Amino acid sequence: MISGSSVEGEFDRLFHLMEELKEVERRSRELLAEVIQEIQSLAGRLVGPRAIKPEDVGEGTSADESSVEESSAEESPAEESLAEEDAVASDDTRDLRDGEKRMIRVLSRHPKLTRTQLATLSLLKATSGTFSSYLSRLRSRELISIDGGYVSLTGRGCRSAGVRSVKPMPEGEVRREWLAVLRGGARRILEALIDVGSVGLTRDELAREAGLKATSGTYSAYLAKLRNNGLIEVVDGKIRITKILGWGT
């Protein structure tokens, strides 16, 4: 007869296997997208823009029409500067991979994030070589800066993201963004803690609220994930959300 603890252990093992399979599937899709982007980028560089030939220009253009065209082509210094910035932003993002674009979009909503937070919100794995490669590429292009363990957009990065500066998001939006990227038990745990705010819950209370078993490895893994992302903390024996998510209830 199989004991209850053995069944629970097998369930935990199968759960982790399922999570690993999901990660492999996600990574495969990401790699495929990267290959497609590289092919498109290479094709664009090989073909290049089509040169305008004299015969492409109509011979019947009048002097008045030419004058209007020349006049409209003139730009003020400010307009020229903006056009140059737009061109730089376009060049900066033209051949970025999907994961890198997600990182830029995430950072355009948060003044600064840890590597782990950025990876999670960008649907990447912080310990993967892919994420490290993305960070390196974005940094070499001067789109991001890394200071004191925090990642943020540079002025150039802001322009590439279409924002003048990065301002903190309202508390409700921050919570919704995190809940959107978390799944299963991790999300249920966070929802339960958001409901009680700064009061917090004991480990056992939180497990019950989230529909999990306090002694299971799965529950511990969920708590570790939330803690590594700076979303929860333990104070006086109770687990509660951090200031990142706000304490107002």
Both structure tokens of 24:
């492999």
What is d(CA 173, CA 195) in angstroms, rounded to the nearest whole number?
Answer: 15
Which single residue is written with the structure tokens 């309202």? 170
How many Cα neighbours within 13 Å face the side chain of 245? 26
Both structure tokens of 13:
């093992």
Q: What is the DSSP string of 2-32?
A: --HHHHHHHHHHHHHHHHHHHHHHHHHHHHH
Arithmetic mean of pLDDT, 172-176: 95
Higher-scoring residue by pLDDT: 82, 5: 5
Q: Using 50, 70 and 90 to split pLDDT, how confident is the model at 1?
A: low
Both structure tokens of 37:
């982007």
Q: What was the pLDDT predicted at 95? A: 86
Arithmetic mean of pLDDT, 65-86: 45
Beta bridge partner(s), residue 86: none
The secondary structure element, H or E, covering residue 147 is strand 144-147
Structural domains of the chain, ranges and CATH numbers in brackets:
82-161 (1.10.10.10), 171-241 (1.10.10.10)
Higher-scoring residue by pLDDT: 129, 40: 129
The secondary structure element, H or E, covering residue 226 is helix 217-228
Q: Where are the alpha helices (DSSP H) in 74-202?
A: 77-93, 98-107, 115-121, 129-140, 155-161, 171-181, 184-196
Q: What is the pTM of this model?
A: 0.66
Long-range contacts of 35-41 (CB under 8 A, 24+ apart): 37/95, 37/97, 37/98, 38/95, 41/94, 41/95
> How many of the other CB atoms lie within 10 Å of CB of 35?
11
Sign of the torsion formed by the C-alpha atoms of 229, 235, 239 and 240:
negative
Evaluate if residue 183 carries a pLDDT over 90: yes
Arithmetic mean of pLDDT, 215-235: 97
Q: What was the pLDDT predicted at 94? A: 76
